[in-house]
Amino acid sequence: IEDVEVAPPKKGEVRIKIVATGVCHTDAYTLSGQDPEGVFPSILGHEGGGIVESVGEGVTSVQPGDFVVPLYIPECRTCKFCTSGKTNLCSIVRATQGRGLMPDETTRFTCKGKPIFHFMGCSTFAEYTVALEISIAKVQKEAPLDKVCLLGCGVTTGYCCRRQDGQAQ
């Protein structure tokens, strides 16, 4: 366990206090060193639930105190992919997210003065994280964060990859 400094959110970003997180096979795969896109040092985790701690300039969809789930596949609703009606593999994050960076080519994490990379735009294994506004989903405050955190990956991946007979595709 390390003490990590988490910078305030910049324009279009949200800082989240993570309350609950899940452990996905992708986290273990990346940690194993077998993931060719894994960058280190990084803060893993992409199934999380938390409370908005602060917002950057221009953020309008959430405010401090809101419950949210970070999403590794955002939806900006403006790029050619998000407006295609076929996919939401948003181009806003594609170029930098796999390299552990925010779209401005920087990171919001440092440890002992050195940069720490983001993981899948979420980094939910930290007490606090910073994500793009388009990379979070607001949930009702009554939602149990220890359960809805799985909506960030596990539930949606499993649900979307099952045939009607229940077998994985």
CA atoms within 13 A on the CB side of 165: 3
Mean pLDDT of the chain: 89
Asked if residues 136 and 90 have their Cβ atoms less than 8 Å apart, the reply is no
pLDDT(62) > 80: yes
Q: Is the pTM of this model over 0.85?
A: yes
Domains of the chain: 5-166 (3.90.180.10)
Q: Are 108 and 102 in contact (CB under 8 A)?
A: yes
Residue 95, C-beta contacts closer than 8 angstroms, at least 6 positions apart = 103
Interatomic CA distance for residues 84 and 75, integer angstroms: 12
pLDDT (tens digit per residue) in 119-154: 999 999 999 999 999 999 999 999 999 999 888 775
**CB-CB contact of 119 with 30 (8 Å):** yes
Of 124, 112, 114, nearest in space to 151 by CA: 124
Sign of CA dihedral 13, 18, 21, 24: positive
- Predicted confidence (pLDDT) per residue in 66-112, tens digit: 999 999 888 888 999 989 988 778 888 888 999 999 999 999 999 99
